[in-house]
A and B are shown apart, each in its own frame.
Chain A
Amino acid sequence: SYELTQPPSVSVSPGQTARITCSGDALPQKYAYWYQQKSGQAPVLVIYEDTKRPSGIPERFSGSSSGTMATLTISGAQVEDEGDYYCYSTDSSSNHGFGGGTTLTVL
């Protein structure tokens, strides 16, 4: 499947801004998507098509993309935002794939 690269972990204090990056060769041409997974739960879509936020997702979650890198930003991170975050996209051959995941710690 398509390989996307994420940092293994990000740590911030409550109220700070957390940024999680995702790099992939096809990202200049393809949208990035972001999923949040809390312990023992199924993933939840938090950003789609680089910058769009599904209904019910707090405004502190935002996304951007430039060149080969997409970024998920959590402005004013809260303890409840802790979990694993995965980016997702596709390459030029329609091979879809997830990044390796980033564990966000807020403490």
Chain B
Amino acid sequence: QVQLQESGPGLVKPSQTLSLTCTVSGVSISSGSYFWTWIRQPAGKGLEWIGHVYTSGSTFYNPSLKSRVTTSVDTSKNQFSLKLSSVTAADTAVYYCARGLRDTAMVTVYMDVWGNGTTVTVSS
């Protein structure tokens, strides 16, 4: 049974860097069959795709966040991570990690297993 669990500070100061880790169990993160994805959701609002990362290092990022986002994969720990720099109050949200699958057209990466999410508040 595949499970994902987000972890990281629940409070980040404005202008600092938000750092989150997703620990994966039940599947090897280096299997090569999956992408690893971050999504966020401000309170009372909709879902926002942040980006996908592949074990090779290939990435797809939301253009509106691309200049501030870095993702990476640590195969030794079966974890992947998100860094979002220069945060503001607008970055306050529940952050989800998820497993991504490439569709049969080899175009879209969609998420089939999600973590429970972790709340990050940006405030001084």
Contacts and interface: CB of A to CB of B under 8 A. Distances in A.
B108 A96 contact: yes
Contacts of B96: 42-43
A31 B108 contact: yes
Contacts of B64: 1
Contacts of A97: 49, 62
A66 interface: no
A30 B49 contact: no
The range of chain B's interface size is 20 to 34
B115 A1 contact: no
Contacts of B62: 1, 95-97
Interface residues of A, number: 26
Interface in B77-124: 96, 103-105, 107-112, 114-117
Interface in A57-107: 84, 86, 88-90, 94-101
Contacts of A89: 108
A7 interface: no
Among the interface residues B47, B62, B64, B115, which one has the most CB atoms of the partner chain A within 10 A?
A: B47
A33 B61 CA distance: 19
Contact of B114 (A31, A33, A42, A95): A42
A49 B103 contact: yes
A61 to B, nearest CB: 15
Contact of B108 (A33, A86, A99): A33
A48 B110 contact: yes
Interface in A30-48: 30-31, 33, 35, 37, 42-45, 48
30 contacts: A1-B62, A1-B63, A1-B64, A31-B108, A31-B110, A35-B47, A37-B47, A42-B96, A42-B116, A42-B117, A43-B96, A44-B114, A45-B110, A45-B111, A48-B103, A48-B110, A49-B103, A54-B112, A86-B47, A90-B107, A95-B62, A95-B63, A96-B49, A96-B52, A96-B62, A96-B109, A98-B46, A99-B46, A101-B46, A101-B47
